[in-house]
Amino acid sequence: MAHLAGKNGTVKVGAGPGVTEVVGLTSWTLDLDADALETTDFMANGVRDYVAGNKGGSGSFEGNWDTALTPVASPPNLNEGETVEFNCYINATDYVNFDAIITGLTISCPQPGVVTFSGTFTVNGAVDKSNLIP
């Protein structure tokens, strides 16, 4: 069994020649879900029945602020309310691709410490997992 180290992950936003790596990232998460719609009727004998409903997802990212390419620059344009195409890599070649709406952005400036940023997003549409390790 092979395991992967998170140190090789990254996030790139955009598509084609306009793809930009998000500088300074230290972690990202993607949580996928599906609705379970209850269909239980009187004939179910006290046992609940469900059908699969809509799929969706959400996630987050965080990193160290880098003045060379800030997360609010365009690109990567990780500003609240913006729709961004994400390519979230788990290593140099394997990634998931999806569009998402940025739902939050936090900038933290502790003393002592480094300036950091974090954000949240909601997936908008399908998630392409075909580029993950088979």
Q: How many other CB atoms are there within 10 angstroms of residue 52's CB atom?
A: 9
Could you report the per-residue pLDDT of 48-59, keeping only the tens digit for each? 999 999 999 999
Residues of the chain with pLDDT > 90, as a percent, come to: 83
Could you report the per-residue pLDDT of 62-78, keeping only the tens digit for each? 999 999 889 999 889 99
The CA R_g of the chain, rounded to the nearest whole Å, is: 18
For 130, the token pair is 């075909």
* pLDDT at res. 1: 64
Compute the distance between CA of residue 126 and CA of residue 98 in angstroms, rounded to an integer. Answer: 6
Number of domains in the chain: 1
In a domain, 133, yes or no: no
Whether the pLDDT of residue 93 is over 70: the answer is yes
In a domain, 1, yes or no: no
Domain harbouring 33, CATH code: 2.40.10
In a domain, 128, yes or no: no
In a domain, 134, yes or no: no
Cα–chain-centroid distance for residue 8? 16
Whether the pLDDT of residue 60 is over 70: the answer is yes
* pLDDT at res. 32: 97
* pLDDT at res. 129: 95
Report the mean per-residue pLDDT for the chain.
94
In a domain, 129, yes or no: no
Query: Which range of residues forms the domain containing residue 23?
Result: 6-123
In a domain, 37, yes or no: yes
Mean pLDDT in residue range 117-130: 97
Whether the pLDDT of residue 47 is over 90: the answer is yes
Given a contact cutoff of 8 angstroms between Cβ atoms, the answer to whether 65 and 107 are in contact is yes
In a domain, 89, yes or no: yes
